[in-house]
Amino acid sequence: MAEYKPIKKVVSGNYAAAYAAKDARVQVVAAYPITPQTSIIEKIAEFIADGEANIQYVPVESEHSAMAACIGASAAGARAFTATSAQGLALMHEMLHWASGARLPIVMVDVNRAMAPPWSVWDDQTDSLAQRDTGWMQFYAENNQEVYDGVLMAFKVAETVNVPAMVIESAFILSHTYDVVEMIPQELVDEFLPPREPLYDLANFEKPFSVGALATPADYYEFRYKLAKAHEEAKKVIREVGREFGERFGRDYSRMIETYRTDDADFVFLGMGSLMGTVKQAVDLLREEGYRVGAAKVLWFRPFPGEELYELAKGVEGIAVLDRNFSFGQEGILFNEAKGVLYNTKARPLMKNYIVGLGGRDFTVSDVRKIAENMKAIIEKGELDVEVDWYHLKR
């Protein structure tokens, strides 16, 4: 095994995604440009034009077609990739079910962007979380490095369990912000991620078959169970692949929830994506001020790491769930999921939902401090003031 010397580049989150797709040796990219995803596929087009990557690029007239083309390519055995945002992801929705139902390990980067109207191009997780039940795995990146690493791991996990995966990054906060990313030399990526071995060989003309054909009520149910089992299996694979990634490249992803200073914490902040960088910085400051707090970042939202959440919940008195998303008629989506997981366990800390950062609203260290003060007060009192706190609201 060759020695690992990272190639350091200063890139945007979008370029990190494009480099990762190239290094993963994707064979087919079908995509439609949409802000703020555009520079991902522009960069890939540039790689192709410069002869740096041998990729079939399929320019399509919509995101629905982009996913359809990826499905065709993946069914034929290719490693397929695409990227999108917000309304574009929504337009793909129907095709997302086809990809997971046919068990095609496509990887897509979704650049989190608020759903319109009102028209917005800024950060918000509701677009990707609205695809929660499509059978895709979801990895939420905190920074540009995790975008790069996430795409490589997503391909490996997806191709092991034959389930497609989304790697999700924040609009502008990551997509257009430059940072140092340690990239992995091609030969080491090739060792980590060998060529795909498809479940079925659609290009074998001796033995033709069709994909996604009719299943009557006598059979459909079993296929759903198989996909459900594949997600369960994926949890094991994710942890193994994350551990292997850590051993080879020094960044450990063996846990689906990354914990930061949670060991002796009275309460923790639970959230996903780029806002957790802010939270970790705030945790350091709050620790200096005497708050015993920690941060827990959900890296993989699907499959949901219920076991790890339970471990975390056992040791704390409170969990402040930060949701940059909302399920109308109910509450923040991560909050809803986290409460649901803990209901049948013995770990039932006080949990409060803070709706933060919707549509790109700034979320800062001082916001985390205010939330910490509020959490401290409700834990002392032993009861919630409100369950769902529209924290930034102009009152």
Length of the chain equals 395
Q: Name the residue nearer to another protein (CB basis): 105 or 332.
A: 105
Alpha-carbon span 394 to 105, nearest angstrom:
44
Place of tokens 């471990």: 311
Shortest reach from residue 104's CB to another protein, in Å: 8
For tokens 């594949």, the residue is: 230
Instruction: Find the binder of another protein among 60, 76, 115, 211 (CB under 8 A).
Output: 211
**Cα–Cα distance between 202 and 219 in angstroms, integer?**
22
- For residue 191, count other CB atoms closer than 10 A to its CB: 13
Is 130 one of the binding residues for another protein (CB under 8 A)? no
Residue 303 CB, shortest distance to another protein, in Å, is 17
CB of 69 to another protein, least distance (A): 19
Give the C-alpha separation, 262 to 319, whole Å: 11
User: Residue 231 Cβ, how far from another protein at the closest point, in Å?
Assistant: 13
CB burial readout 198-213, b (16+ within 10 A) else e: beeebeeeeeeeebee
Residue 215 interacts with another protein (CB under 8 A): yes or no: yes
Place of tokens 């970790």: 280
Based on CB atoms, which residue is closest to another protein, 102 or 268?
A: 102
- Nearest distance from C-beta of residue 232 to another protein, angstroms: 14
Q: Is 288 in the site for another protein (CB under 8 A)?
A: no
Is residue 347 a contact point for another protein (CB under 8 A)? Answer: no
Binding mask 232-251 for another protein (x = CB under 8 A): --------------------
Query: Pairing state of beta strands 293-298 and 257-260?
Result: antiparallel
User: Does 213 help bind another protein (rule: CB under 8 A)?
Assistant: yes
**Is residue 222 near another protein by the rule CB under 8 A?**
yes
Nearer to another protein, 74 or 353 (CB): 74
Which residue's CB is nearer to another protein, number 4 or number 225?
225
Residues 57, 223, 310, 391: which binds another protein (CB under 8 A)?
A: 223
Helix (H, G, I), strand (E, B) or coil at 110: strand
Structure token pair of residue 53:
């990557």
H/E run at residue 227? helix 220-249
For residues 63 and 88, the answer to whether their CB atoms sit within 8 Å is: yes
Residue 206 sits in the site that holds another protein (CB under 8 A):
no
Among 116, 180, 191, 226, binds another protein (CB under 8 A): 226
CB atoms within 10 A of CB 142: 24
| Minimum distance of another protein from residue 181's CB (angstroms) | 35
Q: What is the largest CA-CA distance in the chain?
A: 71
Spatial neighbors of 254 by CB under 8 A, at least 6 apart, are 239, 240, 242, 243, 246
Q: State how far Cα 43 lies from the chain centre.
A: 21
Residues of span 90-119 touching another protein by CB under 8 A = 101-104
Site string for another protein, 146-185 (x = CB under 8 A): ----------------x-----------------------
Q: List residues binding another protein (CB under 8 A).
A: 101-104, 162, 199-200, 209-219, 222-223, 225-226, 230
